[in-house]
Chains A and B, each alone.
Chain A
Amino acid sequence: MNLLEISGLGFAYPDGTVALRDVALSIERGEKVAVVGPNGAGKSTLLQLIAGFRMPFTGRVIVSGKELKESSSDEIRRDLGLLFQDPDDQIFMPTVEEDVAFGPRNLDMDDIEERVLRGLRSAGIEKLAKRQPHKLSYGMKKRVAIAGVMAMDPKVLLLDEPTSGLDPRSRMELIKLLKGMDRTMLIATHDLEAAAEIVDRAIVLNESVVMEGTLRDLVMAKDVVESAGLELPPISRLFKVLDAMGYPIDSLPVSMDQAVAELTMVMDRNGKHVHAHIHEHDHIREKAKAEHAHETR
C-alpha cells in the first residue's frame, strides 16, 4: 500500500510564478525516495505542500489514506515528520530533551519519557539531553531536530536538504544515520552522492517530474543530469573516465558499494584483477602516460 500518493499536483505562488505542474508521485511504506533538481525546481515547495503549509493547490495529496485539505492538514501533520533545512527554524526549547519532548507534549502523546529517549537514541545524541541546543554545532543541531521529529514517531519523514551546510564528517554521520533508519522518507536534495547512499529511487523535479528511477538510471541519463543542473558523484565521474578509456562498464555506479560491486563483477567476468595507482603527469606533453588505471592479466 502506498503511504504517500500524489497526483496532478500543481502550485503557483501568489505572483503567478509556477512552482509545480502536474506532479505525480507515490511512495510505498518503508521506501526511501529522493527528489533531486536544481535550485528553484520546487523541491522545498513540494515538501511544504505535502505538509499542508501551502494552499490552495490543484491535484490530490493522500498521506496514509487521508486526503490533504485545509481542514485536515493538522491531522495529516501528525503522520509526517518535517526536517527543515535550517535546524534553528525548528528548535524552540531551552534544553535538548525539552525540545525533543516538544512535539509529543503538544500532541498529547503517551509515554513522553520513552519517546524522548527513543528520539535521542535514534539521532545518537543521548549525551546531549541536558545541553542548550542553541549552543551546539550546526551538525548537532540537525541531530536535535531529527530527534525531535523521531520522537513524534511519524509515518513519513520529509527531509529538506538534510546534508546542506554540514562539514564532511557531520555529513557522513548524518548519511549513515538516515541510511540506517527504517522509515519511509522523502528527501529533497541536490546532493546526489548523499542521496545515492540513502535512497532506493529518485525523481528529478523541475516544475514537473522530469524522470523517475534509480539513482543509477539517473546518472546514465546525461541530458537529464545536465538540464537539471546536477553534478555527478565523484565515484560516477571516475567510472565515466574509465568507461571512456574502454573499461567495460554496464552502468555508472553512484555509491562506493556499487563501485566495489561493479569492479568485482568485471573481475569475475574477465578473470582479471584491477589495481589503480596515482602518479604525476602532464596532460599536454605526456598524453600517453595519462592512464590512471590499467589492467593486468
Chain B
Amino acid sequence: MTVGHLRGHGNETIQIDHHSNASWFGLIDSRAKLVGVLSFVVVSATLTDADLIVASLAVALAFAAMSGVRAAILIKSYLVALPFIVLASISVFLFVSIESGINMWARTSACVIPLLVLVSGTETFDLFAGLRRLRVPAVITTLLMLTHRYILVLSGELARMKVARRARGFRGGRSLLDKYGLKVLSNTAGMVLVRSSVRADRIYEGLKARGFDIEMHAWHKTRIDSRAATLMACFLVVSAALVLLQLEVIA
C-alpha cells in the first residue's frame, strides 16, 4: 500500500506505517493466499450458471467480510474498479440481455473482490516474494519488486516537478486544446523518463554493491501453517464444487 513520505526528525517514533498484515489474513503465508484466491478467481470467471455466479459472489463477499481487511479500504478499491465493471456489464446488457448484464456484473465482482482482499491484505513485497516461491521466474518478480519500490520515489519526483511548474506560474495542461500546456507536460514526462533512466543506473550499481545476483531474497520467510492450509483448502474445495456443479457432475 502506498503511503506518503514522512519528513523531519522524530519520525522514528511515529508508527503510521500502513500494516497490510494487521489482519489474520495478512499474517498468512502469501503462497497459500495466492493459490487459494487465484484458483477461486479463475473458476468464478468461467461460470455461466446464474445461481452459481450468485453463489460465487456470496463466497467472495463472505471472504471479504471475514478477512479482517478494513471495509473502507475494500470499498474504496472497489469503487476504483467499478467503472470498468460497469462498462463490461453495460456492453453485455446492451448487446445481449439484462440478465446477462447482471450476471456479468456479479461474475466480475466475484473475481475482483477476492483479488482486492488479497492485494489490500498482503504486503506488496510479500505478494511478489510469494510468487517467486511459487516458481514464477526471478527476473519477473525482481522487476515487480523494484518497480513497486521505485514507484514511490518516482511519484515523489513527479510531485516535486509539479510544484516547481506551479511555482513558476504554470497553470496549463487542463485542456487538450492547450498546446503550450501539453508541450510542457510532455517535456515533464520526458524529463521523468531521463531521470528514471539515470536512477536505474544508480540502482543497478547499488544492487551490485551489495552482492545482488538476480533474486531479491527475503530474510524472514513465512511457512504454510495450519491456518494457511485451511484457507487454501477452503478455496480449493469451493472452487472444485463450483466447477463440478457447473459441469453438472454433481446436482
Contacts and interface: CB of A to CB of B under 8 A. Distances in A.
Interface in A123-148: 125, 127-128, 131-132, 134-140, 148
B154 to A, nearest CB: 10
Nearest to A107: B211
Contacts of A86: 202
Interface in B170-211: 199, 202-203, 205-211
B216 interface: yes
A90 B7 CA distance: 19
B149 A92 contact: yes
Nearest to B8: A137
Contact of A106 (B3, B124, B126, B213): B213
Interface string B113-146: 0000000000111100000000000000000011
Nearest to B153: A88
Interface in A145-195: 148-149, 152, 167, 169-170
Contact of A80 (B209, B219, B220): B209
Interface residues of A, number: 45
B6 A98 contact: no
Interface residues of B, number: 36
A interface majority secondary structure: helix
Interface stretch (B9-17, B35-43, B81-89): B9-17
Interface in A41-88: 48, 51, 53, 74, 77-78, 80-82, 84, 86, 88
A169 B9 contact: yes
30 contacts: A74-B208, A77-B209, A80-B209, A82-B209, A84-B205, A86-B202, A89-B202, A89-B203, A89-B205, A90-B203, A90-B209, A92-B145, A93-B125, A93-B219, A94-B125, A102-B210, A102-B212, A103-B210, A103-B211, A105-B219, A107-B211, A125-B12, A128-B12, A131-B17, A135-B5, A135-B16, A136-B11, A137-B8, A139-B9, A167-B9
Interface of B: 3, 5-9, 11-12, 16-17, 123-126, 145-146, 149, 152-153, 199, 202-203, 205-213, 216-220
